[in-house]
Structure 1
């Protein structure tokens, strides 16, 4: 990897297609706990709404800006999953999002290969709207930690190798 490629922005605005592919905005169906979701962004935004709220289901079948704008209508009082209310922005909330991200990558061998191909790069998440909002569901540091841990696991288990 050349010096210019040592940092990879994982974002829908990335100049590297791998960063775009790994971003939460991408339409990338996955299932978690028996439910199907269109994207990580839709999942992140949907869990902001209590179960039974129509916006929740609408977010779950959305991706990109559609999901993001829907989530902007939530009051961010909690994250709701399987009958539980998790404190918004808490470690439990972040672990739930991590489970979704892990499910997405595990269920898509192409994305696992893309993540492995970033070996040696420093993963960052910059959307151009710095500083990051204090009310973000998934801080950039948490998102990048999850991706780095998953990449290390993929490479260490030998099932996926960088190309």
Structure 2
């Protein structure tokens, strides 16, 4: 009897989720064989009622920082939000302390990182992270201004990333279209975030911007 009740409750939950999601494309929750997915990925079917995963497996992936969505911000051209994010870690000029620090080498220029997308941009950021640790710095720069990189407050770095995301949407009609098409669904990232600053939770920033664009 307990097993039957349990199965009935599972069925009821599934019905509720399907009803909540009926106004949206069903493929947003299309099940993926977990055995074929990379370990870092949160799959579409992992969304709870009223949620959707910003999966790179469908059009929602355009909201990812990795997506190739060119935009111009403060006079600088970027090919992706990830390229923007990671470029902040690189020296801005030849006399930048990061460029002159003894024993430190940079595999790319800041301009090269600005033109990157996806995992290549993330890899460039990984090199920069190692250099930052070796130099003992916890800041990045934009337009010559030092900005604390890891902070639990919604400070300068957070506002910078949010403004860049806003610009990405305003300059890419498809990004805006996809974002607004998510209605009032809770947006979740397609990878585990763990303990991270607010600026890293692009899904939450998108929800804030979605409300802003709808008002």
Please indicate the TM-score interval, normalised by the length of the shorter structure.
0.7 to 0.9
Assess if the C-alpha contact under 8 Å between 2:138 and 2:150 holds in 1.
no
* Structure with the higher helix share, 1 or 2: 2
CA shift, 1:77, in A, is 2.6
Moved more, 145-154 or 26-35: 145-154
4+ long deviations beyond 3 Å: 1-5
Q: Find the residue that maps to 1:146 and give its secondary structure.
A: helix
Count of aligned residue pairs for this structure pair: 148
1:126 aligns with 2:143: no
Is the radius of gyration larger for structure 1 or structure 2?
A: 2
Q: Distance in 2 between matches of 1:71 and 1:114?
A: 27
Equivalence map 1:1-163=2 (5 Å): 2-3=19-20, 6-12=50-56, 15=57, 17-52=58-93, 54-74=108-128, 75=132, 77-90=138-151, 91-127=155-191, 130=192, 132=194, 134=196, 138-140=199-201, 143-156=202-215
Q: Distance in 1 between matches of 2:110 and 2:55?
A: 23
CA shift, 1:67, in A, is 0.1
Q: Find the residue that maps to 2:141 and give its secondary structure.
A: strand
Unaligned runs of 5+ in 1: 157-163
Q: Distance in 2 between matches of 1:47 and 1:137?
A: 17
- What TM-score does the superposition give when structure 2 sets the normalisation length? 0.62
CA shift, 1:55, in A, is 3.2
Q: Distance in 2 between matches of 1:110 and 1:71?
A: 27
RMSD: 2.2
Q: Distance in 1 between matches of 2:91 and 2:198?
A: 15
Unaligned runs of 5+ in 2: 1-17, 22-28, 30-49, 94-98, 100-107
Q: Find the residue that maps to 1:73 and give its secondary structure.
A: helix
CA shift, 1:102, in A, is 0.7
Describe the superposition over 1:70-125 as per-residue Cα deviations: whole angstroms up to 9, x where unpaired: 00011263121011110112321111111111110011122111100001211011
